[in-house]
Amino acid sequence: MPRRPRLRSTAVGFLLIAMPFAVAADPDATEFATWREAREARLRADNGWLSLVGLFWLDEGENSFGASREARVVLPEDAGPEHAGVFERKGDAVTLRLADGVTATVDDVPFRARALRTDAAGAPELVRLGRISFSVIARGERLGVRMRDPESPARREFGGCDWFAPRADLRVRARFERYDPPRTLAIPNVLGDLLEESCPGVAIFEVDGRKCRLEPTIGDPETGELFFVFGDASNGVSTYPGGRFLDADAPVNGTVLLDFNRAVNPPCAFTAFATCPLPPESNRLPVALEAGERFDGEHP
């Protein structure tokens, strides 16, 4: 998500301390429209979630790679040879060996065989073969090849996100209580894994007279931006069944702005090849937050 640090005056900070459950001012319509356009542009981008066309979990040892339907890692049928090479997994390491006559690059550098860096400790290496790109991801004990195609049907057919009309009452100044020291937040994902993330505190606010609490993780260590994975009573009715995501700027003077008009669907709402986190039990709210991105469709 874009990083948008905001400065707040001392006077505003004093008022927010006195009114921890205050509704914030209406969002600027032009700025909000620009933010939504940027959100959809990221989805449509060459490397956006809509470009995904496959996620192939690797077995220990050799995994065939090519356009053959018998391959372990399958290219789109018009995007490469029947037999393009082999991914070899040895524990946590993956090596790609290309078949004779097949050309691919990493960082624009051609290779014949090389070990590939996964996303376990940062950005993975990106392999390009014609229009197709792919990288190796690590999820628990799993290693998988995630494949992108800028000509994917999902990208080509995307007509934009579905949004609720903006609501000022769901743009809330919440009290932020810091944990000292930070706590560990256990976040499940769609694969059944449990991820342990550092949680700096809790946001406390009210919706329809009901007290709510949400625990974030750190979205950006440099800015202190917070990242919330949350669920609410609208999930499976008018919003995505698996919950939604919300970014928030770093707390200021003990308060944090939670603008649920900017709540977005997880990647799993757009592709079957994502491995999305799910809301932890502590972040499942009893109220319906009908703001931000809607979801009335079916799972990919």
pLDDT tens digits, residue range 69-105? 999 999 998 999 999 999 999 999 999 999 999 999 9
221 belongs to a structural domain: yes
Residue 295 domain-assigned (yes or no): no
Q: In the chain, how many domains are there? A: 2
Quote the pLDDT of residue 271. 97
293 occurs within a structural domain: no
Give the pLDDT band (50/70/90) at residue 22: low
Percent of the chain with pLDDT over 90: 86
pLDDT in tens, 219-273: 999 999 999 999 999 999 999 999 999 999 999 999 999 999 999 999 999 999 9
Structural domain includes residue 197: yes
For residue 269, is it within any domain? yes
Evaluate if residue 115 carries a pLDDT over 60. Answer: yes
CATH of residue 111: 2.60.200.20
Is there a single domain that holds both residue 94 and residue 196? no
pLDDT at 297: 76
Please report the pLDDT score of residue 24 as a whole number: 54
Closest by CA to 239, choosing from 299, 188, 290, is 290
Task: Write the CA distances from 37 to 44, 169, 222, integer angstroms.
Answer: 11, 22, 25
Bridge pairing between strands 73-74 and 52-57: unpaired
Same domain, 232 and 254: yes
pLDDT of residue 299: 64
Are residue 206 and residue 248 in the same domain, yes or no? yes
Q: Is the pLDDT of residue 9 over 50?
A: no
Q: d(Cα 112, Cα 8) in Å, to the nearest integer?
A: 55
Higher pLDDT, 28 or 257: 257
| Predicted confidence band of residue 8 (pLDDT cuts 50, 70, 90) | very low
Q: In what order do the strands lie in the sheet with 127-129?
A: 52-57, 142-148, 132-139, 127-129, 105-106, 109-110
166 and 40 within one domain: yes
User: What's the pLDDT at 137?
Assistant: 97
CA distances (Å), origin 117, targets 64, 107, 123, 128, 297: 19, 12, 8, 14, 36
Please tell me the least confidently modeled range out of 20-24, 73-77, 199-203, 240-244. 20-24
Say whether both 169 and 273 belong to one domain. yes
172 with 107, same domain? no
Q: What is the pLDDT of residues 150-180, one digit of tens each?
A: 999 999 999 999 999 999 999 999 999 999 9
- Domain membership of residue 92 as a residue range: 49-149
Q: What is the mean pLDDT of residues 124-134?
A: 96
Q: 40 and 179: one domain? A: yes
- The answer on 41 and 181 residing in a single domain is yes
Same domain for 26 and 171, yes or no, is: yes
What's the chain's average pLDDT? 90
Who's near 9: CB < 8 A, 6+ residues apart? Answer: none
pLDDT score for 158: 95
| pLDDT tops 90 at residue 124 | yes
In a shared domain, residues 87 and 141: yes
From 8-17, 39-48, 212-221, the region with the lowest mean pLDDT? 8-17
